[in-house]
Amino acid sequence: MRSRKARPLFARAQTASSDRDFILVARAQSVTLRNNPMRFPALAMIVAMTLPLTAVANPVQDSYRAAAKQESAAFTDFSATRGEAFYKAKTGDVSCASCHGDAPKAHGKHATTGKDILPLAPVANAERFTDAAKVEKWFKRNCSDVLKRACTANEKGDFIAYLLSVK
Amino acid sequence: MKRLDVIWVILSLLPCAVLAADDEKGGKYGGEDRGRTLQPAKLNPAWAKECSACHIAYAPGLLPAESWRRLMSGLDKHFETDASLTAPETQEVTAFLVANASNRWTGSAAPLRITESQWFKSQHGTREVPAAVWKRASVKSASNCQACHAGAATADFNERAIKIPL
């Protein structure tokens, strides 16, 4: 019974062509797993083993990893501490915080126009750092505005590390 | 109430007399007039999304086509801010702005700032908006239309709806 239920789903997963199909399959599989207590300890173990490594994994942040290594051979990993210093550092009289606020969990305010800016920390705004093109668009603009230059991949990764660390 | 109405009618007719004179010299406001329809019923989603990221998406009819072309070709230096878009986005937004630009602008001036147009200046003279009003924190700047025009983001600048904040 169990295997008969799981097999067609597996077959479907192999042929899933769209994200939506994939979600449907994933949901169906998790239901199958829930119905099978025998599988649960194994699953729990896998989750427990990978959780510390994947808890803050962010694909957009990961996309900067290879470039950061290329920038510096000494690069090991992104740092939330460095990211926070970067976020608050002023160039002239502006910093990231000038518009995004000292507390990135709260709403920000555009320094020139006064327009409301949704929170930058994913804990308060889950949409943040999920769209690579949007992230790049704003790094290009805002690094140019604040730093008068482009940001390095290391800086971008640190910046995201800091915002992901905000709880 | 009645007396106020009369005063308003007189006040609103005053500029008309001035404008009638202007008409004879190449169009209203010296040829720098905003469009009769400020924006079309069918809006462009890229324009709406991108232009409203930092401020309201200013209606295309507020400036002539040449202003929009100039503005959109220098987005990396957009009033001292980098507002650059990708090439396809720039193309799409420019096309929408140009296609719906002011249809009553006959002059050759193509200002980058809406506030530099003659129609804007003549409607926001010191009589309507005293200098001190512009300096209020609640107003912030002349580009902050919605401070007094609550419907600015949807191109509603109806004079009756104006509320100047304290």
Contacts of A112 in chain B (CB under 8 A): 54, 79, 81
Q: Could A144 and B144 be called an inter-chain contact, meaning their C-beta atoms sit closer than 8 Å? A: no
Q: Which residues contact B55 (CB under 8 A, 6 or more apart)?
A: A110, A113, A115, B143
| A134 close to B (CB below 8 A) | no
How deeply is A100 buried, as exposed, middle or buried, from its count of CB atoms within 10 A (0-12, 13-18, 19+)? Answer: buried
Q: Which residues contact B158 (CB under 8 A, 6 or more apart)?
A: B151
* pLDDT confidence of residue B5: 72
* pLDDT confidence of residue A132: 97
Q: What is the DSSP letter of B138?
A: T
Q: How far is A122 from chain B (nearest CA, A)?
A: 19
* pLDDT confidence of residue A9: 44
CA nearest A153: which of A84, A65, A85?
A65
Q: CA-CA distance, A72 to A55, in Å (whole number)?
A: 26
Query: Which of the given ranges, A19-23, B14-18, B137-141, has the highest pLDDT on average?
Result: B137-141
pLDDT digits (tens, 9 = 90+) for B102-130: 999 999 999 999 999 999 999 999 999 99
pLDDT digits (tens, 9 = 90+) for B48-75: 999 999 999 999 999 999 999 999 999 9
State yes or no: pLDDT of B161 exceeds 80.
Answer: yes
Total CB pairs under 8 A between chain A and B = 28
Q: Which residues contact A156 (CB under 8 A, 6 or more apart)?
A: A64, A135, A139
ipTM for the predicted complex comes to 0.80
* pLDDT confidence of residue A57: 84
State yes or no: pLDDT of B37 exceeds 80.
Answer: yes
Mean residue pLDDT of chain B comes to: 90
| B87 close to A (CB below 8 A) | no
Contacts of B83 in chain A (CB under 8 A): 141
Q: Considering only the beta carbons, identify the residue of A110, A113, A140 that sits closest to B82.
A: A140
Contacts of A114 in chain B (CB under 8 A): 140, 144
Which residue carries 């998790």 as its tokens?
A30
Q: How far is A19 from chain B (nearest CA, A)?
A: 24
In B22-41, which positions are buried (b, 16+ CB within 10 angstroms) versus exposed (e)?
A: beeeebbbbbbbbbeebbee
* pLDDT confidence of residue A15: 42
Contacts of A141 in chain B (CB under 8 A): 81-84
B4 band by pLDDT with thresholds 50, 70 and 90: low
Q: How far is A140 from chain B (nearest CA, A)?
A: 8
* pLDDT confidence of residue A50: 52
Q: Could B55 and A110 be called an inter-chain contact, meaning their C-beta atoms sit closer than 8 Å? A: yes
* pLDDT confidence of residue A18: 47
Percent of chain B at pLDDT above 70?
85
| A145 close to B (CB below 8 A) | yes
| A137 close to B (CB below 8 A) | yes
For each of chain A's 167 residues, which pLDDT tens digit applies? 444 444 444 444 444 444 444 444 444 444 444 555 455 556 555 555 554 444 558 999 999 999 999 999 999 999 999 999 999 999 999 999 999 999 999 999 999 999 999 999 999 999 999 999 999 999 999 999 999 999 999 999 999 999 999 99
Q: Could A115 and B140 be called an inter-chain contact, meaning their C-beta atoms sit closer than 8 Å? A: no
Q: Could B54 and A113 be called an inter-chain contact, meaning their C-beta atoms sit closer than 8 Å? A: yes
| B84 close to A (CB below 8 A) | yes
State yes or no: pLDDT of B138 exceeds 50.
Answer: yes
What is the pTM (predicted TM-score) of this model? 0.75
